[in-house]
Amino acid sequence: MASETWLIAGLGNPGARYQRTRHNIGQMVLDELLDRMGASYSRTKVGAKAVGARLPGGGPKVIFAVSEGYMNTSGKPVRSLMDYFSVDPQHLVVVHDELDIDFGRIKLKRGGSEGGHNGLKSITQHLGGNRDYLRVRVGIGRPPGQMDTADYVLQKFSSAEENQLPGVIDRAADAVELLVTEDLTTAQNKVH
């Protein structure tokens, strides 16, 4: 029987070069959650930084984690942490950037396709094809004109986006808390 432990994974790439880029918004949301709790990550043996905590007000145990590898290798550390803490895929929440949603909008869902997102593809692969995990999709919008998608997601936010980013990250962190403390439908009704 699986435990009631949750794993919240914030997707991104390691290193200073990728900090505050669109592809790293998942990690930024986890940083906000840890700031709220006064917690900090520790290194693990599985290629991720993680910390176990409880959300403000109690609730189930939550493991917050970010991979120390690149986006396309996110699945291996996520799976290792799920195995170690006996986390059921239905208690996995992945926070990631989403091209198909306008900048600043947040959408919640369970399952579905990966939409070309390499981090999600890696996680699904390491879960044996299981897509039945929750997603906090943080909109970054589509690249302008003919810009290559890979270049766009690895760019820093524009100055106008930077001005709005704290509020976006705050709302996405609230959405993560709702998913853990409420059910998906209730969280969607409040976030969407």
Report the binding-site residues for tRNA. Answer: 18, 70, 72, 118
Given a contact cutoff of 8 angstroms between Cβ atoms, the answer to whether 136 and 126 are in contact is no
Sequence ranges of the binding site: 18, 70, 72, 118
Q: Is 26 left (phi over 0), alpha (psi -120 to 50) or beta?
A: alpha
Catalytic residue among 23, 91, 117, 126: 23
126 labelled catalytic: no
110-113: long-range contacts, CB 8 A cutoff, minimum separation 24: 110/134, 110/135, 110/184
Active-site annotation, residues: 23
